Amino acid sequence: MYSLRHMFSTASMILLLATISSHAVAEWINISTNSNVSTIYVDPATIQKLDDRTKMWILFDYRKAIIESGDKIMSIKKREEYDCNKSQARLLYISKHSGRFTEGKAVYVNEIPYNEWIPVIPSSISEDLWRYACS
């Protein structure tokens, strides 16, 4: 039989581990909100800068499901790379999920980077993300 001291020690350890692991969760920053459609977030802890290029994770969270190929999509997670000098971006990773905030079933995943750079469109969410990544 476990002693009372052992039970408190075990409970303390579980509480400590829960506290530590909660800090590992992404701290998403709201970049843009369209109250009827979606909210777009960036995780600043994932920003990696090298010379004139920056990579970061982005989350699109939808209020209403988007239907693609018969699948319900409520959120999209992307990793994009930005060329800060040439004002362009490219997709490195994308996953589409049936639940909000990437919960639920992953209905699509593509880890193959796109080699093609796409110009950042002025006055768009693409420009907002590029500015955030490159600031």
CATH number of the domain bearing residue 63: 2.40.128.710
pLDDT digits (tens, 9 = 90+) for 110-121: 988 778 999 999
Average pLDDT over every residue of 7-18? 40
Examine residue 105 and state whether it is found in any structural domain, yes or no.
yes
pTM: 0.76
Domain residues for the domain of 58 are 26-134
The residue with greater pLDDT, 17 or 27, is 27
β-pair type (53-68, 71-83) = antiparallel
Distance of CA 109 to the CA centre of its chain: 14
User: E strands, the chain, where?
Assistant: 29-34, 38-50, 53-68, 71-83, 88-97, 106-110, 118-119
Examine residue 5 and state whether it is found in any structural domain, yes or no.
no
Backbone angles phi, psi at 24, to 5 degrees: -80, -10
